[in-house]
Structure 1
Amino acid sequence: MSDRAKRRGRFITFEGGEGVGKSTQIRLLEARLRDAGLDVVVTREPGGSQRAEAIRAYILGGGARELGPMAEALLFSAARIDHIDSLIRPALQAGKWVLCDRFADSTRAYQGANGKLGDEVIAALEKVTLAGVRPDLTLVLDMPPAIGLRRAAARREAGAPADRFESEGLGFHARLRKAFHQIANAEPERCVIVNADRTAPEVEADIFRIIDERLGDTVRRLPALAR
């Protein structure tokens, strides 16, 4: 691999509804990339930095629920600014591959389409918060909401309450799924919908095929990945 290719970081985001298996697939991809000798950073939103994690705890604990979707979107944006400045941008500049569990598309889906914030509001927030940092590839993991919610419930510790968004009704999650489809269909050069209602190895194989196709020479120069 050339020095130029080594210096160029890649930013891959994983999106989708509750319980679709994003965390599992990120771990599997991380292992593949590390086996190939790449530097990999795994992170999440909301969160990924100390201040952003504090905001995450507040939001998912339901603290901002009564404030409405605008307040939630502003809190997510504040967390994202710190996350980008302290972790994502430095990692990409250092040539690392960043795998992020949710990013700006979740704000579009949860507070935008589902919370009924207008496109102009979402675009203005993105302009301020992203400051040019956008994913090279976004994988939208997709499955029927009822199945995802059952999976999310099964992974919680016994007696633990559902978080702010898992506790919403099925109609909310159906609208959320539709919103992610609309985002992916509007930006096919960046986004790919992945059928997540399969076994983890099947989804993993599909994800790697997509990365191989979309990120081109950066991956194909790494024989250890072609397995």
Structure 2
Amino acid sequence: MTTSPPTDRPTGRLITFVGGDGAGKSTLAARLHQGLNEAGHETILIGKHSTQAAASELSAYLDRLNELVYRRDARVARACGDHYWLLALASWYALQDQLLVQPALAAGTHVILDNSPHKIAARYAANPKVPNRLTEQVFEHLTEPDLVFFLDIGAREALARKGSFTSLETGHSGGADEDFIAYQETVLDHMREKAAYGDWEWLDVAGLDRDEVFKAAASALAGRLRLTV
């Protein structure tokens, strides 16, 4: 009597990123995605405009929701209010998790998730108009990441890298550089508090170039998830 080998594929790993605007999250996400695939690890990169669901009829709906949340008319965005946008973002992340993240992980594919909901949560934690518990509740059902990279850099250095910013990146507090810096530091304080009590991989990226950040992240990825790039 022979025993058939198991057919179940190993579950993929979910890797996400958090940090202030200008920290280099998207750059690192793209490089890790490329590096993992080149090393033979089947990996996909999901960003805020990824809408290609496995079931094609759902992709169109996901795209319409994405258009509502991320390609909205800036003239009416603020008029809708903070609570509306929190719930709209929660809807987007819920569908993204259900239609893109979970199927990939179940198929054994690693997922690099740019634009982590942790960043949205930190922004709302800095917003006194929205209860922190509400923000936690609308995101708490999402798939728990296997690894969260926190790219920590001061807001002033981040601004020097970016060169420009949007009203959203100042919390709609004004258009001066100091408005960006003050708001970003408030959001970063919430991220740092979360990182101190959580299991995030805290990378101090101040003064580091892109290659140095990538090497530090690759080392953490190998050490914590046994994934080499």
Deviation, 1:142, is 1.1
Q: Shift of residue 175 of structure 1?
A: 0.3
| Structure-2 residue corresponding to 1:79 | 92
Paired residue type of 2:133: E
Partner of 2:149: 139
Contact conserved, 1:64 with 1:71, CA < 8 A, in 2? no
State the distance in 2 between where 1:3 and 1:32 align. Answer: 29
SS at match of 1:115: coil
5 Å-filtered alignment, 1:1-227, equals 7-45=10-48, 47-49=49-51, 50-54=63-67, 55-58=69-72, 61=74, 63-111=76-124, 113-116=125-128, 117-127=130-140, 130=142, 133-153=143-163, 162-168=165-171, 169=179, 170-188=181-199, 191-197=200-206, 198-216=208-226, 219=227, 225=229
| Alignment partners' CA distance in 1, 2:159 and 2:6 | 45
Q: What residue ranges of structure 2 are gaps of 5+ in the alignment?
A: 52-62, 172-178
Structure showing greater Rg: 2
Alpha carbons of structure 1 residues 58 and 96: separation in structure 2 relative to 1, 3 Å: same
Moved over 4 A (4+): 2-6
Tell me how far 1:25 sits from its aligned partner: 0.9
Report the Cα offset of residue 144 of structure 1.
Answer: 0.8
Q: Decide whether aligned partners of structure 1 residues 203 and 6 sit closer, same or farther in structure 2, where only a CA change above 3 A counts.
A: farther
Give the alignment's TM-score, normalised by structure 1: 0.80
Shift of 1:166: 2.7
- Give the gaps of 5 or more residues in structure 1: 155-161
Aligned pair count reads: 203
Deviations 1:183-223 (A, max 9, x none): 111212xx12211221111111110111112113xx2xx6x
| DSSP-derived class of the 2:113 partner | strand
CA 1:52–1:20 in 2, change beyond 3 Å: closer, same or farther? farther
Task: Write the letter of the residue equivalent to 1:94.
Answer: A
TM-score, normalised relative to structure 2 = 0.79
**Two-structure CA RMSD over aligned residues (Å):** 2.3
Distance of 2:27 and 2:11 partners within structure 1? 25
